[in-house]
Chain A
Amino acid sequence: MSLKNRREFIRDLGLSSAVAPLLLGLPGLANAAVAEKRRQRLIIMFSPNGVVPGAFWPEEVGETFEFKEIMAPLQPYKNKTLVLNGVSDLVRGDGDSHMRGMSCLLTGTELFPGNIQGGSHTPAGWASGISIDQELKNFFQSRPETQTRFGSLEFGVSVPDRADPWTRMVYAGANKPVAPIDDPYQMFEKLYGRMQDQKMLSSILDRVREDLRKVREVVGREDKQLLEEHETFVRQMEQELKADKRRAAAGASPALEAGVKNTNDNMPRTSKMQIDLLVNSMANDMARLATLQYTNSVGQARMGWLDIADGHHSLSHKPDSETESQEKLIKINKWFCEQLLYLVEKLDKTPEPNGTGSLLDNTTVVWTNELGKGNSHTLHDIPFVLVGNGLDFKMGRSLRYRHTEHNRLLLAFAHGMGHHLETFGNPNFCRDGVLNDLT
């Protein structure tokens, strides 16, 4: 833990009861004081290596459309879904398509020249700008009414332990990639560790006092006073923890399956755990922005549980004519869609705290990808599938654009969240303003 983190950790542990609910991200007294506005949320889910367009994009445009095989699991939420075809990542410059696909996806700006060589093109470094989720996080954190403990949370599932433009899509700024946390237990610790610590602490404090009393018996009179004084502080802490505990009861942490190793084969389990944590953290208002990154660009998930032995990226290079590979890719993408469904269902079933309806009524989930199609490495027709009503877009539609800059969609996310930016990322891709026809 770096010094700064550690300091923050310690500071955040502050036991002063007035701030505890706020710090713990609980729907506590402190929040109730501020006239509560609607809590808008945005979750961006990423899966890699492009899709199989024929099995992905609905053929119809407008309110009447049918899901193809990959998106079929979303059927129950069709009227809350918005499919955007024809949005393209037009950012060029250094780096191969996978790198740019990944690191320009949410930043909308070029990569710096650097030392990372891709399969083609020139070598590159990190993105030269902030990603939209972090931009919105900063915006939300700068205003008291939208401030949360974390602002944003970066979840991962089976992300390799490697930092390069293929594994990072979230940027706190130019040259500042943010690593997702792909270990559910580590995420649990981040979200609830302090509560666990406090619980344990309150369980031992009476023994600490007992110990102090015993020792006090054997010291001289003058020194007794010091130990008595010490004991009063221990007692105070005990009382403060009790007060916190009463307030904390509302924000129960989710029960996680124990002992799940963070491996490729456990992806279905870690995926579920991460989604459980994500929805719980949102219900507890720890953050209003989140990303959920499955593997990485060029990711090689081996989905044995779907009876697929090949790595995902290798499969994505196979030509369209290889039906068997295309079938496998469809299954893989459908599996990702099922993860999306689980997330959406969970949001739908969780009531909005301090409000009406469900979390999904105030949350938009965006499912996206760094490429349009794996074997062509195209950055055209990047998948953007939106579910939920966080951004107040008109849902239940399938729209078609043509080579339209994805910066304009990122801009639309910002506007939907109340942040009225003029441009985002490279301004040359924002000339036509916010993406049309969304609301």
Chain B
Amino acid sequence: MHHPTCLKIGPPRGRRRSTFLFVYAVAVFGFSAHMFSETALAAGAEMGEKIYQKHCVSCHGAEGWGVADVNDKPLHGDKPFEELVQVIEETMPEEHPELCVGKDAKKVARYLYDNFYTAAARSKQQASRIQLSRLTVRQYRNAIADLLASFGGSAALKEKRGLRGQYFDSRGFQPKQRRIDRVDPEVRFDFGEAAPAAEQFDASRFSIRWEGSVLAEETGEYEFIVRTEHAARLWVNDEKKMLIDAWVKSGDDNEYRGSVFLLGGRAYPLRLEFTKAKQGVDDSKKGQKPKPVRASIALAWKPPRKSDEVIPQRNLLPQRTPRVFALAAPFPADDGSSGYERGTSVSKRWDEAATYGAIEVANYVVDHLQELAGCRGETTADEPRLREFCRRFAARAFGRPLEEPQQRFFVQQSFAMAADLPSAVKTTVLLVLKSPRFLYPGLASAGEENANGGVDSYAAASRLSFGLWDSLPDDTLLDAAEHDALKTPKQIARQAERMLKDPRAKSKIRYFLQHWLQLDEKEKIAKDASLFPNFDDALASDLRTSLDLFLDDVVWSDASDYRNLFLADYLYMNERLAAFYGVDLPAGAGFRKVSFQDGQRAGIVTHPYLLATFAYHNLSSPIHRGVFITRRLLGRTLSPPPQATEFKEGDFEPHMTTREKIALLTQPVACNTCHSVINPLGFSLEHYDAVGRYREKEQSKVINAVSPYTTAGGGIVELQGAEGLARFIANSEQAHGASVDQLFHQAVKQPINAFGPDVRQNLIHGFKASDYNIRRLLVEIMKASVPFASVPH
């Protein structure tokens, strides 16, 4: 545990007797000692470059890329510096190695080494250019879903929530016996021994069908749960195959589960059927009246990272939406080392995963030809229609019309070679989905037939759709591209504004927020059960919902004001949360806004979910909280601690407060550079214990939440508790810049400085001018990123 590579600070897991704490040191953003040595070296490096230009460039080319027909081997390698010097001294320039020896060899080696020879140097250089990128996993799944939806149909989601419930006075679902047709907010009923309505029903044999759609907010595996003492069956996203088949009631089972993989931000068709009547042979006409029995039913689910709950009204729609193709095939995780997921590397596993994905889609397409292409491919008369389908499929996937050679390559060849029509379609689908034109959306502006490399409207459409939706362009975008109407900032802005209203944009912003706030890292929060007896999985799950609702509320309100993320004085609470956090909440179901007038709550920094996440199982953790705020909210960098230090409660006097312990622990000078930043931020939140409950005292000592914080500029700010901290973050220019960076990177998946030196600053100014409107910022990001060629030359 003391190993210095334990750098990623995360809250401690589980319940250990002693907990660990990583004490940070050295190098806050822009530390100066380093700068000094750099200047001293500058002269030498300049010399190195001059030598390179004189003796090397004719064979090795600019930046070591080689020269066509002379030497096409790039000057890249992994030899240690000394060895590189030696090679140069002894062999370079070819035939005249005596021209470059001694200091000169060292200088030129240094130049190579720092600029392009090593992988590290190259990646540093690349950080500032737009790199060709493959689809991220999220983009791949969304693109596949939307590609198929463009043939199978999609529907705009309406406002109305709940499920359509039809109640029948019969054991089956005879339309004439329908007694009730209404929208139920959720499925959680206990009918007792009675019927759903007094007189119209035979209480021993009624049936109910609920229909509509279920809206998934996150991507992952969802477990659906039906609880009933009677018979039920459930379909989710597949009308042909039941997810739960409990139509045969057997034994004491009264809970049924089925799992399905769903993509976040999309609605899936759902149908639930229930019957209280016996099935099989209808003997109701003979024999005596059956004994009265109870009947109840509930439809619940367990979404990723949450515990099981009755599916809430906000996730149910009475409208039936078309099926979504949700590709569950596992992919290796995308490279997140730059702070955001991007597709700038490929691997064998990724190639295999993408291949399996393609096969799965191809099989699906062939199995659903009627639905997708309008014919089954059983007779030759179907051929023209299927060719047209293939052409459209390829064009959709590539985000632009096919030119003649591509039509031959992707469509005609398949039909010429395949044994039958479905195989031809399958071949095209595989070929298209394995094509770099689909897998690297940035290539949209390239193509051998369009080698000018300029950005046309189709490339702009792709940038917009991947930027705001992580998916392929829709009809409207493609239509605009066809009319070349994605050229001016105004046109881009108009499209972006339209696109922000789509659930896919909502999903993307949620994804951004989750990454930003590190909500995607933890599966579970566990707390000491003896100290916090009611803090269980269900409560933690509710906290998460509460935070999600809050974030949605801020982002999607009219003002969409970033500052409200910190300054809002309310939380979403349901009855369970209210009881736990000691808030009076009028009885009633569901989450509601609760305002705190007494300065106890200020936006996300005081949200109990985050406070509990960044805490120990038994104690608050000013360091975890401080590090989170430093890095994520204020955008300052921290170096890893020079030594790992163990935080053992036993090392301290028992009467000390957490603040006192941390101050003592981080007292050494080596710790001070970082902890003068981290600690004050964390101490401001000392009014909140390990579960985020407000407290006035710890260990019978009054909490001191005031502390002096050293800003990046070196100034000192006296932070006055949580509210002061929140106000400080909301108004911090550095925090604004950090948010701009984060949002830009998650949207565009390219480094912001690759789009020009002024883009970042302009966006920050615009952000301020728009009163920190988050959605407006996204529109501006699109304007700033779309006009650039996605394929650099």
Q: At the interface with chain B, which of A24-32, A121-129, A311-319, A407-415?
A: A121-129
Asked if residues A230 and B279 are in contact (CB atoms below 8 Å), the reply is no
In the complex, per-residue mask of B13-50: 1 if CB is within 8 Å of any chain A CB, else 0: 00000000000000000000000000000000000000
User: In the bound complex, how far is the Cα of B233 from the Cα of A164, in angstroms?
Assistant: 13
In the complex, per-residue mask of B217-261: 1 if CB is within 8 Å of any chain A CB, else 0: 000010000000011000000000101010111111100001111
- Whether a CB of chain B sits under 8 angstroms from the CB of A257 is no
Q: At the interface with chain A, which of B77-85, B446-454, B594-602?
A: B446-454
A residues in contact with B431, CB < 8 Å: 204, 207-208, 211
A42 to chain B, nearest CB (A): 27
User: In the bound complex, how far is the Cα of B434 from the Cα of A133, in angstroms?
Assistant: 42
Most central of B248, B362, B426, B791 by chain A CB within 10 Å: B248
The one of A126, A211, A234 in contact with B248, judged by C-beta atoms closer than 8 angstroms, is A126
A residues in contact with B434, CB < 8 Å: 204-205, 208, 211, 234
Residue of B nearest to A176 (CB): B250
In the complex, per-residue mask of A208-241: 1 if CB is within 8 Å of any chain B CB, else 0: 1011101101111111001101100110110000
- Whether a CB of chain A sits under 8 angstroms from the CB of B131 is yes
Asked if residues A10 and B356 are in contact (CB atoms below 8 Å), the reply is yes
User: In the bound complex, how far is the Cα of B58 from the Cα of A37, in angstroms?
Assistant: 69
A residues in contact with B440, CB < 8 Å: 215, 227
Asked if residues A3 and B221 are in contact (CB atoms below 8 Å), the reply is yes
In the complex, per-residue mask of B173-195: 1 if CB is within 8 Å of any chain A CB, else 0: 00000000000000000000000
Q: At the interface with chain B, which of A63-71, A110-118, A386-394, A428-436?
A: A110-118
Asked if residues A163 and B247 are in contact (CB atoms below 8 Å), the reply is yes
Asked if residues B251 and A125 are in contact (CB atoms below 8 Å), the reply is yes
Asked if residues A116 and B279 are in contact (CB atoms below 8 Å), the reply is yes
- Whether a CB of chain A sits under 8 angstroms from the CB of B427 is yes
Asked if residues B430 and A201 are in contact (CB atoms below 8 Å), the reply is yes
Asked if residues A218 and B348 are in contact (CB atoms below 8 Å), the reply is no
Asked if residues A117 and B278 are in contact (CB atoms below 8 Å), the reply is yes
A residues in contact with B336, CB < 8 Å: none
A residues in contact with B330, CB < 8 Å: 7, 10
Asked if residues A223 and B435 are in contact (CB atoms below 8 Å), the reply is no
Asked if residues A164 and B248 are in contact (CB atoms below 8 Å), the reply is yes
Interface size class of B (residues with CB under 8 A): 35 or more
Asked if residues A222 and B248 are in contact (CB atoms below 8 Å), the reply is no
User: In the bound complex, how far is the Cα of B248 from the Cα of A434, in angstroms?
Assistant: 33
- Whether a CB of chain A sits under 8 angstroms from the CB of B733 is no
B residues in contact with A223, CB < 8 Å: 131-132, 791-792
Given contacts A2-B259, A113-B251, A204-B427, contact A219 B446 (CB under 8 A): yes
A186 to chain B, nearest CB (A): 11
B residues in contact with A117, CB < 8 Å: 278-283
The one of B126, B231, B250, B453 in contact with A112, judged by C-beta atoms closer than 8 angstroms, is B250
The one of B280, B355, B360, B453 in contact with A118, judged by C-beta atoms closer than 8 angstroms, is B280
- Whether a CB of chain A sits under 8 angstroms from the CB of B359 is yes
- Whether a CB of chain A sits under 8 angstroms from the CB of B702 is no
User: In the bound complex, how far is the Cα of B436 from the Cα of A229, in angstroms?
Assistant: 12
A402 to chain B, nearest CB (A): 32
B residues in contact with A222, CB < 8 Å: 126, 129, 131-132, 792
- Whether a CB of chain B sits under 8 angstroms from the CB of A144 is no
A residues in contact with B261, CB < 8 Å: 3, 6
User: In the bound complex, how far is the Cα of B333 from the Cα of A169, in angstroms?
Assistant: 43
B residues in contact with A217, CB < 8 Å: 448, 451
Asked if residues B248 and A165 are in contact (CB atoms below 8 Å), the reply is yes
A residues in contact with B126, CB < 8 Å: 222
Asked if residues B131 and A118 are in contact (CB atoms below 8 Å), the reply is no
User: In the bound complex, how far is the Cα of B356 from the Cα of A10, in angstroms?
Assistant: 7
- Whether a CB of chain B sits under 8 angstroms from the CB of A15 is yes
The one of A3, A175, A200 in contact with B328, judged by C-beta atoms closer than 8 angstroms, is A3
A residues in contact with B793, CB < 8 Å: 220
Residue of A nearest to B327 (CB): A6
User: In the bound complex, how far is the Cα of B453 from the Cα of A175, in angstroms?
Assistant: 63
Asked if residues A233 and B131 are in contact (CB atoms below 8 Å), the reply is no
B residues in contact with A210, CB < 8 Å: 409
A residues in contact with B423, CB < 8 Å: 200
- Whether a CB of chain A sits under 8 angstroms from the CB of B300 is no
- Whether a CB of chain A sits under 8 angstroms from the CB of B352 is yes
Given contacts A2-B258, A6-B329, A226-B345, contact A115 B249 (CB under 8 A): yes
The one of B132, B250, B417, B453 in contact with A126, judged by C-beta atoms closer than 8 angstroms, is B250
Give residues 310-365 of B contacting A (CB, 8 Å). Answer: 328-330, 344-348, 351-352, 355-356, 359-360, 362-363
The one of B245, B280, B363, B448 in contact with A218, judged by C-beta atoms closer than 8 angstroms, is B448
- Whether a CB of chain B sits under 8 angstroms from the CB of A197 is yes
B503 to chain A, nearest CB (A): 22
User: In the bound complex, how far is the Cα of B347 from the Cα of A298, in angstroms?
Assistant: 56
- Whether a CB of chain B sits under 8 angstroms from the CB of A178 is no
- Whether a CB of chain B sits under 8 angstroms from the CB of A243 is no
Residue of B nearest to A166 (CB): B280
- Whether a CB of chain B sits under 8 angstroms from the CB of A246 is no
Asked if residues B248 and A6 are in contact (CB atoms below 8 Å), the reply is no
User: In the bound complex, how far is the Cα of B431 from the Cα of A2, in angstroms?
Assistant: 26
- Whether a CB of chain B sits under 8 angstroms from the CB of A119 is yes
Give residues 775-791 of B contacting A (CB, 8 Å). Answer: 791
B332 to chain A, nearest CB (A): 12
User: In the bound complex, how far is the Cα of B691 from the Cα of A16, in angstroms?
Assistant: 48
Asked if residues B348 and A219 are in contact (CB atoms below 8 Å), the reply is no
A56 to chain B, nearest CB (A): 28
B residues in contact with A438, CB < 8 Å: none
Residue of B nearest to A175 (CB): B250
Residue of B nearest to A112 (CB): B251
Asked if residues B132 and A218 are in contact (CB atoms below 8 Å), the reply is no
- Whether a CB of chain B sits under 8 angstroms from the CB of A13 is yes
Residue of A nearest to B284 (CB): A117
A175 to chain B, nearest CB (A): 5
A4 to chain B, nearest CB (A): 7
User: In the bound complex, how far is the Cα of B497 from the Cα of A278, in angstroms?
Assistant: 59
B325 to chain A, nearest CB (A): 11
B551 to chain A, nearest CB (A): 28
User: In the bound complex, how far is the Cα of B330 from the Cα of A13, in angstroms?
Assistant: 12
- Whether a CB of chain A sits under 8 angstroms from the CB of B437 is yes
Give residues 1-51 of A contacting B (CB, 8 Å). Answer: 1-4, 6-7, 9-10, 13, 15
- Whether a CB of chain A sits under 8 angstroms from the CB of B443 is yes
Q: Which 4 A-B pairs have the closest CB atoms?
A: A125-B250, A112-B251, A223-B132, A115-B249
A–B pairs, 13, beta carbons within 8 Å: A3-B260, A7-B328, A13-B356, A15-B352, A113-B251, A114-B250, A114-B251, A126-B251, A211-B437, A222-B132, A233-B346, A233-B351, A236-B348
Given A220-B791, A233-B347, A237-B351, 7 further pairs, Cβ under 8 A: A2-B241, A10-B330, A211-B436, A229-B346, A230-B346, A233-B348, A237-B352
